């Protein structure tokens, strides 16, 4: 009797299945909108999804019958510990603990905007590792994070910091010159918790005293970094605006090229041949030109933005038309976190169909992160990462800016409009 009673109590304490009723369910692989669909969630994962799913008696119900459900979105290029106002000299006064607090705020903003997974590609003091672990431990709310730790770069390059005079002897923690120093840095980042390795192959926009089109790491150094990271089971992402650095990164075996701004025909062909993902942060240009000066960005950065912004969008279109693999990455932190969706309409304006833009932030992004079997689609066995919007994103991609329901791994973090009926 007592045994039966305790079994009953255990069963009651277990999270029962939850049935989410969706007015429409977007199947990202086929691009089909399935009317009156049900997603059956069991704990952290999806048990079943589709039109003919019957909810078991006793299942909790979530009514999204006026909404379109889609998989949680993925941004493969964010900097949660950064804010637009940290870009120029003001950023020098922001401590790593303060950056971490900023990251706590931005992790939550990103999740509530519908991004249930994000890749953080560059942070100081392993603040990103702390964020990831805090989220996984349930201490703070945020997307499931994949993090790089401090990005690798050459002395005086985009991933160093050139704002201070020589007598301050400042050097960013990810600086490493030469193949063996770079390999040692890869090992160190992995030692302290990096999931992937981020490297600065070319110059950049937000850095002082360099040019986006100019190579920084040599091919030899990039090869060493990619080989070391892969040997230790980690993927690699290279910041590369310039055509030469993009090709060097691809030839070195880097897994994704970030920014990709000045990619040429040969670079696009190489990316296709190697299966390298290209990431184009093409919303940034709007924000930097409109708000950058007010945010304290260097005037040099705004000048450089004027040189690359438009070309990056044109090259995005070329790479897309050529059939290159493109993953959704926005460089949030340069612009305010939570506005990640604003890149979707730009991607559509520059050539993608809405469903393709959504795939870049779901199935494609999941593949790049190596979680193609866990995230990116609402299918049995995957994490129960589900978001909902009013309206049809295939007709109007900007509805992704009004996410009103967010479930991550079976837990609801946002629910603005639905009514819950428990049976």
Q: List residues near ligand ARG by CB under 6 A.
A: 204-206, 212, 259, 261, 281, 284-285, 305, 308-309, 312, 331, 334
Residues 6+ apart with CB under 8 A from 356: 320, 347
- Pick the closer one to ligand ARG by CB: 22 or 279: 279
Quote the least distance from Cβ 284 to ligand ARG, whole Å.
4
- Pick the closer one to ligand ARG by CB: 154 or 308: 308
Quote the least distance from Cβ 169 to ligand ARG, whole Å.
24
- Pick the closer one to ligand ARG by CB: 243 or 334: 334
- Pick the closer one to ligand ARG by CB: 106 or 116: 106
- Pick the closer one to ligand ARG by CB: 18 or 261: 261
Quote the least distance from Cβ 206 to ligand ARG, whole Å.
3
Helix axes 179-191, 219-231, angle to 10 degrees: 30
Residue 410 backbone zone (phi > 0: left; psi -120 to 50: alpha; other: beta): left
Q: Read out DSSP for 14-59?
A: SPPPEEEEEEEEEETTTTEEEEEEEEEEETTEEEEEETTPPPPTT-
Quote the least distance from Cβ 334 to ligand ARG, whole Å.
5
Helix axes 299-322, 265-274, angle to 10 degrees: 60
Quote the least distance from Cβ 288 to ligand ARG, whole Å.
6
Query: CA dist 122 to 159, 237, 279, Å?
Result: 9, 10, 15
- Pick the closer one to ligand ARG by CB: 179 or 212: 212
CA angle centred on 404, ends 401 and 407, rounded to 5° = 110
Quote the least distance from Cβ 343 to ligand ARG, whole Å.
10
**Residue at shortest CB range from ligand ARG:** 204
Residues 217, 179: contact at Cβ < 8 Å? no
Q: How far apart are CA 288 and CA 84, in angstroms?
A: 9
Quote the least distance from Cβ 48 to ligand ARG, whole Å.
41
- Pick the closer one to ligand ARG by CB: 27 or 281: 281
Helix runs in 44-115, H state only: 96-112
Query: CA dist 368 to 21, 176, 243, 320, 346, Å?
Result: 30, 26, 22, 16, 21
């Amino acid at each position: 009797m007592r045994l039966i009673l305790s079994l009953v109590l255990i069963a009651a304490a277990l999270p029962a299945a939850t049935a989410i009723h969706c007015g429409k369910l977007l199947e990202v692989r086929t691009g089909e909108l399935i009317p009156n669909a049900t997603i059956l969630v069991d704990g952290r994962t999806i048990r079943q999804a589709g039109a003919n799913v019957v909810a078991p008696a006793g299942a909790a119900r979530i009514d999204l019958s006026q909404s379109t459900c889609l998989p949680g979105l993925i941004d493969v290029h964010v900097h949660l510990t950064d804010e637009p106002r940290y870009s120029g000299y003001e950023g020098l006064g922001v401590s790593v603990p303060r950056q971490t607090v900023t990251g706590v705020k931005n992790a939550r903003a990103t999740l509530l905007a519908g991004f249930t997974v994000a890749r953080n590609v560059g942070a100081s003091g392993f603040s990103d590792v702390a964020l990831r672990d805090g989220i996984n431990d349930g201490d703070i709310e945020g997307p499931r994070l994949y993090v790089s730790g401090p990005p690798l770069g050459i002395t005086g390059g985009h991933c160093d910091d050139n704002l201070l005079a020589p007598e301050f002897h400042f050097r960013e923690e990810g600086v490493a010159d030469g193949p063996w120093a770079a390999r040692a840095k890869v090992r160190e980042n992995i030692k302290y918790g990096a999931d992937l390795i981020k490297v600065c192959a070319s110059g950049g926009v937000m850095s002082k005293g360099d040019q986006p089109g100019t190579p920084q790491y040599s091919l030899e150094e990039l090869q060493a970094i990619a080989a070391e990271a892969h040997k230790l089971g980690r993927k690699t992402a290279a910041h590369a605006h310039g055509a030469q650095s993009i090709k060097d990164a691809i030839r070195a075996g880097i897994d994704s090229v970030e920014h990709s701004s000045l990619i040429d025909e040969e670079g696009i062909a190489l990316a296709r041949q190697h299966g390298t993902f290209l990431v184009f942060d093409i919303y940034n240009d709007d924000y930097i030109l409109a708000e950058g000066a007010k945010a304290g960005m260097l005037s040099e950065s705004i000048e450089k933005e004027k040189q690359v912004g438009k070309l990056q969008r044109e090259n995005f279109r070329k790479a897309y038309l050529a059939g290159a693999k493109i993953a959704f990455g926005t460089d949030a932190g340069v612009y305010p976190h939570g506005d990640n969706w604003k890149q979707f309409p730009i991607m559509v304006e520059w050539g993608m169909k809405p469903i393709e833009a959504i795939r870049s932030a779901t199935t494609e992004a999941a593949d790049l992160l190596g979680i193609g079997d866990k995230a990116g689609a609402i299918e049995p066995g995957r994490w129960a990462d589900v978001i909902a919007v009013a309206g049809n994103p295939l007709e109007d991609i900007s509805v992704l800016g009004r996410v009103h329901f967010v479930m991550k791994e079976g837990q609801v973090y946002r629910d603005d409009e639905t009514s819950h009926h428990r049976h």
